[in-house]
Structure 1
Amino acid sequence: MESHGVDSEVGRLKTVMLHRPGPELKRLTPRNNDRLLFDGIPWVSRAQDEHDAFAAALRDRGVEVLYLTELLVEALDSDIARNLAITTALSGLHLGDTLRAYLAGALHDASPAELASYLTAGIRNDEVGGGHGLVTSLLAHDDFLIDPLPNLLFTRDSSVWIRDRVAITSLAMPARARETQLTELIYTEHPRFRDVPEGTRKIHGWHFEHVEGGDVLLMAPGVIAVGVGERTTPAGVERLARQVFHAGLAHTVLAVPIAQERATMHLDTVCTMVDTDKIVMYPNVADSLRAYAVTVGEVGESPADLQLDVASAEPFLVAAAKAMHIDTLHQIDTGLDPVTAEREQWDDGNNTLAIAPRVAVAYERNDETNARLEAAGIEVVRIAGSELGSGRGGPRCMSCPVSREPLN
């Protein structure tokens, strides 16, 4: 039986979940890419080649690679999973009863692989054949009845392992809401997770306040930093903190406000851990980044009964080092000057994936940041990302660690 669990950002990576770019990216057009949160139209075959090289680099280091779509297909063998997936996919108010009933029948008749494709790549109006009522007659032929999910590429956001629990997140943007529902089906119905002794115990959930995985950094065993900005709300941090404290998964949660901007949509676009005491960080915000340390005052029978103590804001690096019980959290800057730093931060220079202490995967194009990492004793595993980066995400964004070796 496979073991699952993660207690840090840098313990040796054993198992990771990825999503290979698929037909959902071919649904992007200049008219819908903004709504679907992409800054451009990726060259899909090149993006697939880049992603295959990323997966190969992980396997070369002994990492087991799981693919989200393969897990989803296998989970959809379950009638419970099929019914839930179809119900949530057809819950939009834009369909109407006639079209919804037709689509429900068609989806129930699909094989698990076909259903997974419909759920991830979407269904256009002109693909249902017409003749299914007023709504389909009035919609444009290329309107989506079920939207595609191009951001599935970024598996980091829809779930986060915290020790032996998996947090099902709540994604803020409407274009991504169904991603976390599909991820929950995998953790609930796939045999790999369903049949773990005593079951996989989940925390949080897509129906709770917004928390996205890109904002959650496991700084050290027992210390979790959570960015609060465009995607994760203060209420989401509070809910998550109550749950991890009640479950004994952490002793400190650092709430870290970040600018509500596209360039800093998640905390991991600003900084990522590359060693137990080293972090690569965007220098243009390093001096202003603050953190509120949250701990438990009085315990209670349920998460809602906990009293949370919130300390005054401190510089992030100071607050993190205190919580981690180390003297200094060493900062490695992105780039060498403010302009280069801004360019390489936009190109996900901070968004590294540690596969072991002092070993990190990074986009090859961020030359100066990678050079600074190497000067600090970090081995950099370079991958191409000219097409993968069009959705604003780097190696960390594209990976959900399922299992790491514990640091202690």
Structure 2
Amino acid sequence: MKLKRWGVSSEFGDLNTVLMHRPGPELRVVTESNLREFNFDEPVDVNQFCHDYDLMVERFTDHGVNVLFLTDVLADDADALNYISRRPNMTYTRDLARVFRNGAVLMSPHLRGRWGDQKMLGRALKNLGIPLHGEIKCPAFLEGGGVTMIGDDTVVASICDRANQSGTAALREFVLGSEARYFLDVPLPFGHVHIDGLFMMLDEKLAICHPETLEVFPCALYEANNNVPRYLLFTEFLEERDIEIIPITTEEMRRGDLNVVVTRRGCKAVGFSNAVRLADEMAKRGWELATFPADTLFKGNGGAHFMTCPVFVVSSSMILKSELGMPVITAIVVGNVIGSGIFFTPGELARVASTEWQVYFIWTLCGLVTLFGALTLAELATLIPRAGVFYHTLNEAYGSFAGFLQGWIQILISGPGSVAGIAILFGELASQVFGTEGSQARVIWGIAAVIFFVLVNLRGVTWGGRTQIVLTAAKILGIAILIAAGLFFAVPASDAAVPSENSAGLDLTGLLRFAGLGVAIVFFTYDGWIDATHIAGEVRNPDRTFPRAMGLGVVTITIIYLLVNLAFLRVVPLHDMQANPGAVASIVASAAFGDIGATAINVLMWISIFGALGGLIMTLPRLCYATASDYVERTAGTGIGAAFRGIAYVSPKSSVPAGATIFVGVAAIAALLFFGSFSRIVSFVLVPLQALSMLMISTIFILRPRLATPRTFRTPGYPWIPLIYIVVVGALLVSAVVYNPLDTLLGLSLALTAVPIHIYLSKLGR
């Protein structure tokens, strides 16, 4: 049972995998006469203890945590299973070992009733493929509950009733310089067992603490390559790190309210049901504390923290902050979708439509199908609220190849291609507005726009989000002016729409042809709504925010598109649109405002494309980040592993995926220089991208039964809503391949190069 991914470098990342032991009849070994030997306050009701333990495990699995049980990991080790069946303290796996980024350290329990337990956990870690730095051995004593981390650079060990200075010194020898830059020795007053009963990190700048106990003795702070410690109080160290404290009372400390485990960074944790005030304080800061009964477990000094040994927590250097709310997400959805398409596709659609009602029907149909996809995707984003939901849903449902294929296509085909195509359109319009005609000027303007948005997003997710709101607002305002021009200011067309010889007729064959070609044309204009899910890991309260923002965004887009078409058709008949498909917007503006209007519409289109480009460059790096971070550990020690680590780099100052943002910018500029043709890029990326969207929507049928909780948003009309989306998009793929086989098959061929690459990476990851 080798793990492909493991390692813990912080207390507050996404908890992926945890090692636990479900207790059983061995608890009957604990009696009134030997309570101190096993650290129980009183004998427990075995059935109730196991029942409450199962409720605790359920809370972890509800949050998507992979729970590994010792008896499963050691299923082939009869000696270990026999030992475990007799040891009531084996359920406290936290105390027996500590897993770090590069390996684990076996602890040295102080109580004689626990001597030898750590050996069984060591066997389990070996079976999981986790190497050992070493073992702390008697007369040195230290237990895992006395070890924690602050940030990802400081290991903290408490000197207390269960640990001596020899124990903390042994741990310091193992980890200082290799696993951490700093090591903090924290002496605790008499009567306190572990630091995890007094202090618990929730996030990089947030902790739960009983400060009175931690202000008694000075602590020794060691730095790598420096044997002389600096002395300071623990609370002073927290102040230096600018860590906010949620203080708890002595009564709350004694009943175990600190016994909390973070499961999803910045939003979810598991703890005791009696920690009511703490849950309220956490809720004020955007947290949800999933609880279970405390009474019976705490009689044996158990709880969520004491009874878990984390083996894989997503690295804090690969975690993004949850800062974005509904306005930003809605703006990103609208900004990503409404780009250049709405100015060009009405004319293209006129080539295959014969009546106005067909135009309104196809725009409404595509909007409805997109809404179905968005609602399904919103549920997936709440099931897996992590950066790069597209990638993680495929990975979770269909295995590592599906997730890698999605990342491969997005990163190397559709992502840079989309950015390059939009950048070229931006450059072309910018050249017209500023009078710098020519293909070279068009490329220069496009490159400048890409560089601008890369720099903006490197400043931070909030900067990028605010910029997107401003650009989206400007875009909507400009389109509103265009709608008003067509509906209220321009003189309406006097002649009725006349079907051309190329238009689809009203016979069944004509309607099918119109549906196939029309859906393809209009779906291109709706493309981009999925990209907002790439930043799911940075959304506040994703269970509420994502469904509302996705639904509102798609409905807003559909209404805007219908109004634009209504304005266009009021001024320009269908047969005139067929003759000038790319100039419809300029004709409408000119009819309302003259030559000034034509110039204004060019500026409008320029702003619109600029906003779409900004939305892509904000969201695509999150996908690159998610893919790269998943392969960092699997490719460690290789050249390609170094590349993945660089792409997965998160700026410690702005907490944005800086490495991925720079990568997307460079790849987009390369694609901008290589392709040069917007229409060719669209054909090239259409089939791979839409096939992936259909595949991702299908994951709802697998992930909902596995991950859904009572609080998770559920897609209305399930299962019909996702099924309708899959059928319509499937028909689109068939139509695209039939009518344009060369470019679509070329895109598919490049996508399939992911197969040998994934095989190579899988071999590296063993």
TM range (shorter): 0.7 to 0.9
**Paired residue for 2:228, among 303, 309, 312?**
309
What one-letter code is carried by the residue in structure 2 that aligns with 1:309? V
* Higher RCO, 1 vs 2 (CA within 8 Å, ≥6 residues apart): 1
What one-letter code is carried by the residue in structure 2 that aligns with 1:213? G
List gaps (5 residues or longer) in structure 1. 77-111, 123-148, 298-306, 335-340
What CA distance in whole angstroms lies between the structure 2 residues aligned with 1:347 and 1:183?
A: 28
What CA distance in whole angstroms lies between the structure 1 residues aligned with 2:14 and 2:82?
A: 36
CA contact (8 A) 1:281 1:333 kept: yes
**How well do the aligned residues superpose, as a CA RMSD in angstroms?**
1.9
Identical-residue share of aligned pairs (%): 23
What CA distance in whole angstroms lies between the structure 2 residues aligned with 1:389 and 1:66?
A: 22
Structure holding more strand per residue: 1
Equivalent residue runs for 1:8-407 within 5 Å: 8-74=10-76, 76=77, 112=78, 115-122=79-86, 149-188=87-126, 190=127, 192-193=128-129, 200-207=131-138, 209-246=140-177, 248-261=178-191, 264-288=192-216, 290-297=218-225, 308-312=227-231, 314-320=232-238, 322=240, 326=241, 328-334=242-248, 341-358=249-266, 359-407=268-316
CA contact (8 A) 1:15 1:65 kept: yes
CA contact (8 A) 2:184 2:220 kept: yes
Q: Which has the larger radius of gyration?
A: 2
More deviation in 227-236 or 385-394? 385-394
What CA distance in whole angstroms lies between the structure 2 residues aligned with 1:47 and 1:32?
A: 18
What CA distance in whole angstroms lies between the structure 1 residues aligned with 2:212 and 2:278?
A: 14
CA contact (8 A) 2:136 2:167 kept: no
SS, match of residue 33 in structure 1: helix
CA contact (8 A) 1:217 1:268 kept: yes
User: Could you state the TM-score of these two structures normalised by the residue count of structure 1?
Assistant: 0.73
Cα distance, 1:171 vs structure 2 = 0.9
What CA distance in whole angstroms lies between the structure 2 residues aligned with 1:379 and 1:226?
A: 28
- Shift of the 185–205 alpha-carbon distance from structure 1 to 2, 3 Å rule, reads farther
What CA distance in whole angstroms lies between the structure 1 residues aligned with 2:107 and 2:214?
A: 27
Cα distance, 1:158 vs structure 2 = 0.2
CA contact (8 A) 1:270 1:345 kept: yes
What CA distance in whole angstroms lies between the structure 2 residues aligned with 1:380 and 1:286?
A: 25
Cα distance, 1:311 vs structure 2 = 0.8
More deviation in 19-28 or 396-405? 19-28
What CA distance in whole angstroms lies between the structure 1 residues aligned with 2:165 and 2:63?
A: 37
SS, match of residue 382 in structure 1: strand
SS, match of residue 74 in structure 2: helix
Cα distance, 1:289 vs structure 2 = 5.7
Cα distance, 1:121 vs structure 2 = 3.6
CA contact (8 A) 1:20 1:67 kept: yes
Q: Deviations over 1:10-35 (max 9, x none)?
A: 10000001111111102222122232
Structure holding more helix per residue: 2
What CA distance in whole angstroms lies between the structure 1 residues aligned with 2:274 and 2:11?
A: 23
Q: Deviations over 1:206-244 (max 9, x none)?
A: 457212100111111121111111111111111211221
Cα distance, 1:356 vs structure 2 = 2.3
Q: Deviations over 1:167-196 (max 9, x none)?
A: 1111111111111121112223x2x32xx6
User: Could you state the TM-score of these two structures normalised by the residue count of structure 2?
Assistant: 0.40
CA contact (8 A) 2:15 2:314 kept: yes
Q: Deviations over 1:268-326 (max 9, x none)?
A: 001111111111112442443642211133xxxxxxxxx522112x121322454xxx4
What CA distance in whole angstroms lies between the structure 2 residues aligned with 1:355 and 1:361?
A: 7
Cα distance, 1:117 vs structure 2 = 4.9
CA contact (8 A) 2:133 2:174 kept: no
What one-letter code is carried by the residue in structure 2 that aligns with 1:318? E
- Shift of the 25–395 alpha-carbon distance from structure 1 to 2, 3 Å rule, reads same
What CA distance in whole angstroms lies between the structure 1 residues aligned with 2:104 and 2:195?
A: 19
SS, match of residue 202 in structure 2: strand
Cα distance, 1:120 vs structure 2 = 2.5
What one-letter code is carried by the residue in structure 2 that aligns with 1:165? G
CA contact (8 A) 2:160 2:193 kept: yes
List gaps (5 residues or longer) in structure 2. 318-766
SS, match of residue 167 in structure 1: strand
CA contact (8 A) 1:333 1:372 kept: no
SS, match of residue 306 in structure 2: coil
Give the aligned partner of residue 142 of structure 1. Answer: none
